[in-house]
Structure 1
Amino acid sequence: MIDRRLLLRSSGAAAAGALGAAALADSAVAAESAPGPTARPAEDSDPTSGVTRTLLQEHPSPAKGWKAVQTLVQIPRCKESGRHSHPGVEVGYIIRGDVLMEFDDRPPLRLRSGDPFFIPADTIHNARNVGRVTTMMLSTYVVDETKPLVTTY
């Protein structure tokens, strides 16, 4: 069972371990700290390859027709989430890493480990990992339950 309080208090490998992903995080950190250039597989040409979204919990909201969804998003080094929007607000926290949150309608926002963020409903955005490690973000959405959580552009 995941100790959600530990996740919020922890960062880096400790948070990954709390989510049962320590092996993944360790291998990602080892690969990221390897010296010299490395060959990239063909699928690495896709800027969103390797991005994972793990559903942590989903519950009906007190407001009829809405739901609350919480995910752990991991974005490998030099990768991005891709332009997308949500049918409700996103409230997030950077557990580990550095992200440039890019928007279609406003200047980008630089986020680092420990930074919270808020994205209004239906706002097109892209989270680009600009750091040296796999970024881990905790994102909570309050969204229209009749619509998909993510619309890509």
Structure 2
Amino acid sequence: MRLFMASAALLVSMIGIAHAADTQPRHWQQGLSRIDLVHQDLGAADREVIQARVDFEPGVTSPRHAHPGVEVAYVISGTFEYQLEGRAPVTLKAGDSLFIPEGVAHVAKNVGQDKGSELATYIVKKGEPVLILKP
């Protein structure tokens, strides 16, 4: 039984690693890239979690976009200004977090002198693009 449980745990771990998905950088635009770290079904209400590291060169701004679910942005390094639709801009530094509600259009800009990185955690609807560009 212990061998079975250990084998099952190993299999679940391997499935989680396989779902950790795409570790190749995706370049949205010059100076902005995303590496998906985790992509996992939550097993509830058609939701999944995606976690990604997003890297910004100095002065780079993301395109205006929204998500089909919530995002929690955690600044790993650098200084960012986040502008959420209908709210005043907020500046975050390494160690700061921001909750972005479902469907709220926003942009992020690296306002620091060096490359900046954020850890973005999305809890979104399955089968929909994680990012929806907004005019």
Asked if residue 133 in structure 1 is aligned to residue 121 in structure 2, the reply is: no
What is the number of residues matched between the two proteins?
109
**Structure 1: stretches of 5+ with no match in the other structure:** 1-18, 22-47
1:69 counterpart (33, 42, 50): 50
Give 3-state SS (helix, strand or coil) of 2:76's partner: strand
Pairing of 1:85-104 with structure 2 (within 5 A): 85-104=66-85
Which structure: larger Rg?
Answer: 2
Q: Deviations over 1:34-73 (max 9, x none)?
A: xxxxxxxxxxxxxx42200100010001323110000000
TM-score normalised according to structure 2 size: 0.76
Which is worse superposed, 104-113 or 66-75? Answer: 104-113
Pairing of 1:38-117 with structure 2 (within 5 A): 48-117=29-98
Give 3-state SS (helix, strand or coil) of 1:77's partner: coil
Instruction: Output the CA distance in 2 between the equivalents of 1:122 and 1:104.
Output: 10
Larger helix percent: 1
Identity %: 33
The equivalent residue for 2:103 is 122
The amino acid across from 1:61 in the alignment is L
Give 3-state SS (helix, strand or coil) of 1:132's partner: coil
Instruction: Output the CA distance in 1 between the equivalents of 2:101 and 2:67.
Output: 9
Give 3-state SS (helix, strand or coil) of 1:91's partner: strand
The equivalent residue for 1:41 is none
Instruction: Output the CA distance in 1 between the equivalents of 2:114 and 2:94.
Output: 11
Displacement of 1:97 in angstroms is 0.3
Give 3-state SS (helix, strand or coil) of 1:67's partner: strand
Q: Deviations over 1:102-123 (max 9, x none)?
A: 1221111111111011100001
CA-based RMSD of the aligned residues comes to 1.8
**Structure 2: stretches of 5+ with no match in the other structure:** 1-22
Instruction: Output the CA distance in 1 between the equivalents of 2:121 and 2:127.
Output: 17
